[in-house]
Structure 1
């Protein structure tokens, strides 16, 4: 048993290191193939005022005059010592930028993750319990429609309706414009987070609802449920005694493995609402050639997604101890 556990964690560690190494190389190569000139993006509108000598000095300061392989090896060597480098955009250590932005993104994604999981599960249960009736058809229509809806389009729609036309929520940003950070209240932050969180959660409901519906339909057509119906059980009591556990575990596992879609959706939602999170920083780093910041965010997002898959795996192993008897591939 102990040997099996050590082997399991050893394989997970190897997979994580392999993932981070591969993602770093691919991301660095893609940035190198980008047509964006990092020096021009760094200087901005004053590019015409910068001489060739000044360009050389800027390139030398940021190490852009070195060959790509040498720059990647230097970055990797610094990473092994816990240094992700300095952001060209923010002029701050990458760890500080990620730490500050991650808190905003974590709050946004956490709220969206909980809402989409709870609402999606309830919607799937309602659809399955009313199979082929109007609640089932309505929920399936909703899920199929939103499953094919781009996140940025839905965000723009919510922004136009609830922020521009109705004026119920702020147009964007994470806090009120022109207000000192010390004067920003918790209510202000929540008000600015509602529309981005609603955008992410509405999109994320579809997969959980459809998956839960399908699983519960299979459970309700099983022999032991038919026997329970014959004994007079029906409605919520039938679901509570025979269906809840069978559909809750797969739904929770699917919810944990949705971290990648959650982060990808957050990138688009944060751009639409100008929300100051990791998603917006990712786009800025890519468009302005900030390699240290982009690589740091890529590593952070990879760890985030890997953690979601690991939590789903561990959850299943805890619920079903039979998985712990062998190493899960």
Structure 2
């Protein structure tokens, strides 16, 4: 499938995809410039969209086909700006500010994690601050710079902190450096549930604390697919063992959606490979579940 050919998410009939009426807006951003291990995230958005056409619309949790109630419009891909990561972040912020609006959920498909800095900028322009970021990830992404760039994928949470939007709440982290641990220990706006915290203690304890921290707040949810265990999503640039299970991930997303006002979501770092489309499908299904939790809540 060509990298910039993007069908509508879920392959919905035209009547459910109109920009004027759809409550879910999907923005593909196939940007990849600072990946430090295995490349391929630029192909992530196209793979997600292609796989999404195979996802069943019926959701047993809702005993319904939720997408037919809220509708999904997929925008043309935002083409990469390779002048610099900073220039790309500015382009993303401008595009996001055009489409993020109350009553709708903006869902951004990456691409590398750098895109989140631009998404947060654009969402903050529309909604103002504070804006909490909930991050599912294997990595803390709290370095001040990496490989010479402060806008590396490994620095995105640090850039969000520096911008002063609000808290950064991270779940599933299992790979950090000394610099990042220093930030985690000293920064009151950062709360990390390491992967072993989620696995080794009752899940409800984590969910209860998470719910209290986000209750009533505006939230941007960023899902780095390497936050999930590689048995679910093996095709990511920097896979780490010991990740979140499928049902842990759904419980976390459901908790955030029920307690907070989730205004935007991004999903990043899928690096699709031939013969391993199970990962593309899992990510597409996770995004559909996320839309359902946010847009169908009572």
Query: TM-score by structure 2 length?
Result: 0.28
**Structure with more contact order per residue of length (Cα contacts < 8 Å, sep ≥ 6):** 1
State which structure, 1 or 2, has the greater radius of gyration over its C-alpha atoms. 1
Higher strand share: 2
Query: TM-score by structure 1 length?
Result: 0.26
